[in-house]
Amino acid sequence: MRIDSDCVRDILLSVEGQTSYSSGMYFRIGYTTYPEPLQKYDSEKLMYHVRYLLLAEYLYHPDDSSASAEWMNFVDLTPRGHEFLNTIRSPVIWSKTKRILEKAGAFSLKIVEATAEGIATAIIKELTGSNTFLTP
């Protein structure tokens, strides 16, 4: 299965919105009560991307021994997951990132993150009217 960058982003946003210190988010095959952004994906695709994000260390699962092919409970995003999500959170940055990557035909998480960081940096430079943040 190909990685769907929109699905990755939607999972990260949903996990962030559904988790706290004391509660996690469950993913189950056939489960249909996910937050709105996840309802457009079938269980197979969703679970594949959840597993991918776990292996890439964007999601934290406190007890891997309790995970199965049918369900997983992720307590939170990892620090890496939070950083990546903060890079791609803005709808403006996300749409520009996707547009560039579609032209380039590259969608690895590493490339997505680097492209989004470049776009965010360019927007900040444009807003500040400077190439440096040290200018008063």
Identity of the amino acid at 18: Q
Tell me which residue of 4, 22, 119 sits closest to 12, measured CA to CA.
4
pLDDT tens, 27-83? 877 776 788 889 899 888 998 999 999 999 999 887 655 555 555 666 789 999 999
Burial of 36 (0-12, 13-18, 19+ CB in 10 A): exposed
What pLDDT is attached to residue 23? Answer: 80
Where do the structural domains in the chain lie, given as residue ranges? 5-78, 90-128
Torsion angle, CA of 43/49/51/54, rounded to 10 degrees? -140
Q: Which residue has the higher pLDDT, 6 or 70?
A: 6
- What is the model's pLDDT at position 80? 95
Mean of the per-residue pLDDT values of the chain: 85
* Cβ neighbours of residue 82 closer than 8 Å, sequence gap 6 or more: 16
Q: What is the pLDDT of residue 43?
A: 87
Buried b (16+ CB within 10 A) or exposed e, 59-77: bbbeeeeebeeeebebbbb
Which has more pLDDT, 28 or 102? 102
pTM of the model: 0.83
> Is residue 84 pLDDT above 80, yes or no?
yes
What's residue 63's pLDDT?
Answer: 67
Task: Answer for the pair 115, 39: CB distance below 8 angstroms, yes or no.
Answer: no
pLDDT reported for residue 105: 84
